[in-house]
């Protein structure tokens, strides 16, 4: 059948960002307000659509309907790997976990420093706890108890971060911070289908391992590889952590789907050539996610499910967002 081109012009949308953060989503995911071209294997056509309208969940073979594209569950490819960020994705840890642990550490060391909720939100734009403290002290001035030499200050920061990690792990071991909705479900779906699962984080490896072990359980933890902390020299938004994960797992980056919650994480995933779904967290709800392949408030469990493994696979097949 000869391929034909159909141009569809939809109602003008004043703000794509508003759609991405719609308070009562009526569909599973949203698209960017840009022209996108994709092919329908059933219709034999190439569609050029300029739209920011929400679409229903895609689970496989595309078919046409009055509401746009709907999908069956039989033909979507599976990702080779699902790569999860940790903080804000597995657990919404930042405000009531990491921030509290940093402040408790500063108090113990009598540094006269406190990070309030708003300030910590700004500091999260810097990937990595040690890097975050260093940037803050460089800007505001180093505590009197801090050493003067550059190398000694690195050791000082490392010691603070080690203590902060110990305090944070105590919170996790007591299970005071719950998994976000749908995380365990999506991981179980992936593992049951032979899809590799890894956690890729700028946080300390011990803290990430504690979250995976204590909150996901030892049986899942045995099957999940962790890439965290200083395993790469450059942290997000650099793609090094995701590139390393793909290489170590032996998978093509183009066949990987990343679950992130922040702009710097999204930038890292896209720079690595991977599809990226954003599940917004407390600190990142208002960030710009126009480069994401899909944006949700959370993954979700039935009956509040937002997406599943089949949807992740559909992103690889449909090429909705370049």
Please check whether residue 299 is in contact with residue 306, taking contact to mean a CB–CB distance below 8 angstroms: yes
pLDDT in tens, 241-285: 999 999 999 999 999 999 999 999 999 999 999 999 999 998 999
Which residues are catalytic, by number?
85, 87
Residue 298: φ, ψ to 5°: -165, 170
pLDDT by residue for the chain (322 residues), tens only, comes to 444 333 333 332 333 333 333 333 333 344 333 333 333 333 343 333 333 333 333 333 333 333 333 233 446 789 999 999 999 999 999 998 999 999 999 999 999 999 999 999 999 989 899 999 999 999 999 999 999 999 999 999 999 999 999 999 899 888 888 999 999 999 999 999 999 999 999 888 988 999 999 999 999 999 999 999 899 999 999 999 999 999 999 999 999 999 999 999 999 999 999 999 999 998 999 999 999 999 999 999 999 999 999 999 999 986 444 3
- Sketch the domain layout of the chain as residue ranges: 81-92+178-316, 94-174
In the CATH scheme, what is the homologous superfamily, with its name and number, of domain 94-174? Putative phosphatase; domain 2 (1.10.150.240)
Which pTM value belongs to this model?
A: 0.72
Task: Tell me how far apart the alpha carbons of residues 319 and 118 are, in angstroms, rounded to a whole number.
Answer: 37
Antiparallel, parallel or unpaired: β 68-71 and 62-65:
antiparallel
Nearest to 260 by CA among 242, 237, 277, 235: 277
Supply the DSSP symbol for 95.
I
pLDDT in tens, 147-185: 999 999 999 999 999 999 999 989 988 888 899 999 999
Task: Tell me how far apart the alpha carbons of residues 183 and 160 are, in angstroms, rounded to a whole number.
Answer: 31
What CATH architecture is 81-92+178-316? Answer: 3-Layer(aba) Sandwich (3.40)
As a whole number of Å, the CA-based R_g of the chain is 21
């Amino acid at each position: 059948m000869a391929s034909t081109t159909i141009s569809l012009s939809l109602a003008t949308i004043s703000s794509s960002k508003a759609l991405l953060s719609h308070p009562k989503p009526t569909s599973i995911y949203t698209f960017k307000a840009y022209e996108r071209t994709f092919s329908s294997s059933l219709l034999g056509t190439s569609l050029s659509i300029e739209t920011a309208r929400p679409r229903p969940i895609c689970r496989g073979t595309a078919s046409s309907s009055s509401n746009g594209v709907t999908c069956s569950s039989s033909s979507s490819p599976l990702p080779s790997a699902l790569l999860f960020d940790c903080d804000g994705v597995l657990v919404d840890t930042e405000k009531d976990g990491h921030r509290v642990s940093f402040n408790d550490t500063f108090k113990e060391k009598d540094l006269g420093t406190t990070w309030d909720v708003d300030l910590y939100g700004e500091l999260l734009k810097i990937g990595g706890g040690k890097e975050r403290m260093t940037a803050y002290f460089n800007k505001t001035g180093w505590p009197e108890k801090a050493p003067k030499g550059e190398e000694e200050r690195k050791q000082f920061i490392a010691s603070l971060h080690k203590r902060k990690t110990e305090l944070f792990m105590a919170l996790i071991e007591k299970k005071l911070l719950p998994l976000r909705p749908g995380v365990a479900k999506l991981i179980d779906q992936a593992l049951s289908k032979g899809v590799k699962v890894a956690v890729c984080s700028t946080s300390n490896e011990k803290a990430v391992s504690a979250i995976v072990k204590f909150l996901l359980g030892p049986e899942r933890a045995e099957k999940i590889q962790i890439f965290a902390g200083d395993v790469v020299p450059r942290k997000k938004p650099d793609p090094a952590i995701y590139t390393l994960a793909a290489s170590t797992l032996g998978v093509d980056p183009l066949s990987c789907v990343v679950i992130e919650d922040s702009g710097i994480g999204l930038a890292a995933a896209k720079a690595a050539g991977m599809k990226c779904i954003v599940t917004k967290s407390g600190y990142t709800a208002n960030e710009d996610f126009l480069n994401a392949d899909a944006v949700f408030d959370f993954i979700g469990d039935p009956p509040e499910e937002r997406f599943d493994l089949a949807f992740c696979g559909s992103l690889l097949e449909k090429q909705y967002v370049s």
